[in-house]
Amino acid sequence: METTRVVQVDAFTDEPLTGNPAGVVPDADGLSAEQMQAIAAEMAVSETAFLRSSPAADYRLRYFTPAREVDLCGHATIGTFAHLRDEGLETGTTTLETNVGVLEIEIDADGTVWMTQDEPTIREVDVGYDRVADALGVDQAALEGASADLPLAVASTGLPMLIVPITYLSDVGGADPDMAAIEALTDAVEATGLYLCTFDTLERESTLHGRMFAPGAGVPEDPVTGTASGAVSAYLDRFDAFDGDLPAELRLEQGHHIDRPGTVRVRLDDAVRVGGRGVTVLDGSLVVPDIEDDDILEA
């Protein structure tokens, strides 16, 4: 019976059992898409990353939620390279092939992993605040109160997110999301997930506090989301949320409302760079599911 090594890495944290858990399969070259999807479903974390060889970069990653493949995942990338560092990968810069192209990964001496995300795209969307409020289970006035300079928009640095600012931290924590309504809303605006955020934070040094919902991708609520953090940071820059005084580094809190707190660091200079640390909490093996036709194995 064939098995494969799997690890679980908690990303955007250096404390075990906090942050965002990611599955990592360190040797996935012989696995088909169907096998990777089955392994991701068995791991039952928001994303599992499958490390493969690449003719275009130093590494190749494919990402699967329990329900489907996604093009990019920030926390699973951070988790993968935190694991590789534990296995002996040296500090410095390396390259990573993903479905959105080749990205640059940098590992600092302190273990922080930085991923350069895709070129930002941002588009305002015409959806009513009443619909968004109903989907999130929040007060419509709290959404409209945050909307003067920050409109509803879909932002992407590799994975499109509907960005929804709201007034207070209590509004974020008090949300009672209707997952079916959120899935319909994100489908309507062609987004993978919805990122609800406020400048009202728990920690003084934090920039934003957020929650991310992606039920259409099989992730009702993601603990700490690297792709959404990159997207919302580019969104804040695009709409001049800092009145021309963009911080050198943004710090985004997430996960506290589901008891998985973590922090994402974002730098906006010549590109969007998302950073964080990771800690391995599980290391073992998993039976590789059989497939019906050997011809679908991928080299």
CA torsion sign for 196, 201, 205, 207 is positive
**Per-residue burial over 150-159, b = 16 or more CB atoms within 10 Å of its CB, e = otherwise:** bebbbbbbbb
Six-digit token pair at 268? Answer: 């906006």
Dist. CA 12–CA 279, nearest whole Å:
9
DSSP SS3 for 129: helix
Which amino acid is located at 30 in the chain?
G
Dist. CA 57–CA 62, nearest whole Å:
13
- Cβ pair 96, 128 in contact under 8 A: no
Q: How far apart are the first and last CA of the chain?
A: 20
Dist. CA 109–CA 36, nearest whole Å:
32
**47 a catalytic residue:** yes
Catalytic residue among 47, 97, 183, 253: 47
Task: Give 148's contacts (C-beta < 8 A, 6+ positions apart).
Answer: none
Active site residues: 47
